[in-house]
A and B are shown apart, each in its own frame.
Chain A
């Protein structure tokens, strides 16, 4: 069965410093992986997705993620945090097959300090 584990429930950075949000996955086959962001009182927005093409995936707003099969990781990074990046971030794996189910991690709250 597929699963994802977000290693930090809360990350705090200063504005202008790098962001690292960690995610490990478990999958019996080559997975499709996503990062979604949820701003306060807002819906979910897709940041980026990995679907077995390039292992370094670029997303919106300067975010990137690298798929590392040997480490079963899909960490999200950004070189320089902005105040508007403060939100909750979800690492997600597709269940595969045709059910369309997305399996969400527990979420990481990113705090950006001025």
Chain B
């Protein structure tokens, strides 16, 4: 089944404790990205990756890091989480980002709480 998977689905952590949220897709997509969802704000892009070893900032990259060492994986790293990073996070992927006729597929989401 074609899908985007994220782990963990739920995470409660404390301020300053480094964490990684994994994202994996099995569709051989070139493009992957991370969004965060906050009430009343919709989803905002954090980082995106056009291909292996190619990443770039989205609209809200502060406090986050990413890496793209393999095509299928795109982990989101919070080196020193803070309470304002409490949010619902989504990973997405698509084959060709410049052609909107190609659907973007979203993972199930990771709900992160930082206390």
Contacts and interface: CB of A to CB of B under 8 A. Distances in A.
Interface of A: 9, 32, 36, 42-46, 49, 51, 90, 94, 97-102, 104-107
Contact of A100 (B31, B42, B106): B31
Contacts of A98: 50, 97-98
Interface of B: 31, 33, 35, 40-45, 48, 50, 56, 58-59, 90, 92, 94, 97-98, 100-101, 103-104, 106-109
B58 A101 contact: yes
A104 B98 contact: no
Contacts of A32: 100-101
B94 A100 contact: yes
Contacts of B108: 42-43
Given A97-B98, A99-B48, A44 B106 contact: yes
21 contacts: A9-B40, A32-B100, A43-B107, A44-B90, A49-B103, A51-B100, A51-B101, A98-B98, A100-B48, A100-B50, A100-B98, A100-B104, A101-B45, A102-B35, A102-B45, A102-B92, A104-B43, A104-B44, A105-B42, A106-B40, A106-B42
Given A43-B109, A90-B42, A102 B104 contact: yes
A50 to B, nearest CB: 9
A49 B94 CA distance: 15
Nearest to A93: B100
Contacts of B104: 46, 100, 102
A90 B88 CA distance: 15
A60 B42 CA distance: 22
